[in-house]
Structure 1
Amino acid sequence: MSGDGLRFVKFLGVGVLNTAVGLGLYWLFLWLGLSPQPALALAFALGVIWNYLTHARLVFGTGGLSRLAPYIAAYLVLYGLNALTLRALLASGVGAYAAQAILVLPMAAIAFVLISYVLTGRLPLTGAREGE
Structure 2
Amino acid sequence: MAEGRMTDTGRTEQVGGLSVVATTTDGIRVLTLAGEIDHHTGDQLRQALDVTGVSRPRIVIDMRQVTFMDSSGINILINAYQDVTAACGWLRLAAPTDSVLRVLQLVGVDDIIDCHPTLREALAP
* TM beyond 0.5: no
Answer 1 or 2: higher relative contact order, Cα 8 Å, separation at least 6.
1
The structure that is helix-richer by fraction is 1
TM-score (norm 1): 0.29
Higher strand share: 2
